Amino acid sequence: MTYPIRPIDESEWPAFARVLDEGFNWTPHPQQAERFKAETEFDRTLAAFDGDLVAGVTSIISFTMTVPGGRLPVAGVTSVSVLPSHRRRGILSALMRRQLSDVRERGESVAALYASEAAIYGRYGYGRASHNLYFSIDKSRSAFVKNAPADPSLRIRVAKPADVRADLEGLFASVVARRPGRYDRKPQIWDGVLADDEGDQRGNGSLRSILAEDDGGLRGYALFRVKANWDADVVPAGELKLQELEAADPAAYALLWRSILDRDLVSKIQSGGRPVDDPLIALLADQRQLRASWTDELWVRVVEVDKALASRAYSAAVDVVIEVEDDVCPWNAGRWRLTADPTGAECKPVEDEPDVTLPVAALGSAYLGDGLLMESLEAGVLREHSPGSVRALATAMSWSPKPWAGLTF
């Protein structure tokens, strides 16, 4: 059977949302549903139809995202789901292929997503490109190193997040270009970040904020919730759940973390996703007290090899012929010569013998600067024809700081 695919209009939103409800086993409360709808770009939705029934869906949020050395328009893939009754019929594959063709037609050379299931998206050329750490810190063992940065002009101010939204938005906009993977937040996204209805609290208390500022203005902020608790001996055992922490400089960053770690009536601090090279690791005197779990974060798809590779910066010089395997976007399949150094890059199709042969997902994994090219070589996932070519490519594509988006879309 074939399932016609087309964008939906706003009147078809309930049927679109029903597929997500069934696919993700999650029914949002009314306020969340309205915010989700407000974020939806209806001209960038796709739905597969079985007669009048919406059987599968996907969507895109248009972003400007930081990549090594600059910023690019990126297609933020989201809302990917198929009704349980229509699995194993090729609907997801048809949606993903159509979506990637649409992305190319819009001139976007890179797509990115958060994967609900890590085994799915490699089939469509997405590679695991960034990672999250989730921290758990015992407050009583959170001392900083003696040379932690400090600025006596800084002070902490407590504020209701909604009252200082403009300040938070401005600070975030000033730091978003520092790390690959970070993306601009539209007003609708900020609505979600600062949402504080009962369904958003989930029993963890109201959303709170502290600001690090001096006479010149805001230099950082933290958003968090506190789940109040006492143990059997009436000893405070609250849990502070950090939602996000952003700072313009090391002193503001250290002051915000110190204020979080010293919060009264709290015994444990738990963070949402943080970058794998979070500076807090270097600030703690006893780094073992930062108990961390790891998970994948962004998955990246190189939609047009030549445009994507020429649109980012490189940490070292490289001249390599890459043979790309791509059966989903056939325009990428072939041999490309990447010539790059820290001053610029170009990528052109060639007929030369390849130095390395790799699946397009490997390029997506490496694109933001934290790929697994050498590991993939050792695993036999890619093939090296010229000794040292994979190491040279991996070194050139590496970047610091490590990529991290910081907010699921």
User: Are 374 and 390 a contacting pair, CB within 8 Å?
Assistant: yes
pLDDT score of 26: 84
pLDDT score of 28: 85
Please write the tens of the pLDDT for every residue from 25-65: 988 888 889 999 999 999 999 999 999 999 999 999 999 99
User: What's the whole-number average pLDDT of the chain?
Assistant: 97
Average pLDDT over residues 1-18: 95
pLDDT score of 30: 87
Q: How far apart are CA 277 and CA 291, in angstroms?
A: 14
Mention every residue, 6+ apart, whose C-beta is less than 8 A from residue 171.
218, 219, 220, 221, 246, 248
Is pLDDT at 4 greater than 90 in this prediction? Answer: yes
pLDDT score of 136: 96
pTM: 0.95
Using CA of residue 290, residue 293, residue 294, residue 298, what is the dihedral sign?
negative
Is pLDDT at 1 greater than 80 in this prediction? Answer: no
Average pLDDT over residues 330-355: 98
User: Are 254 and 219 a contacting pair, CB within 8 Å?
Assistant: no
Please write the tens of the pLDDT for every residue from 291-320: 999 999 999 999 999 999 999 999 999 999
Please write the tens of the pLDDT for every residue from 257-301: 999 999 999 999 999 999 999 999 999 999 999 999 999 999 999
**Residue 60, beta-bridge partner list:** 77
pLDDT over 90, % of the chain: 96
Is pLDDT at 403 greater than 80 in this prediction? Answer: yes
pLDDT score of 146: 97
pLDDT over 70, % of the chain: 100
Please write the tens of the pLDDT for every residue from 74-109: 999 999 999 999 999 999 999 999 999 999 999 999
Average pLDDT over residues 367-384: 96
Please write the tens of the pLDDT for every residue from 241-254: 999 999 999 999 99
Q: How far apart are CA 7 and CA 10, in angstroms?
A: 10
pLDDT score of 199: 87
CB atoms within 10 A of CB 188: 15
Is pLDDT at 6 greater than 90 in this prediction? Answer: yes
Average pLDDT over residues 236-245: 96
Average pLDDT over residues 147-165: 98
Q: How many Cα atoms occupy the beta-carbon half-sphere of 302 within 13 Å? A: 31
Q: How far apart are CA 364 and CA 123, in angstroms?
A: 12
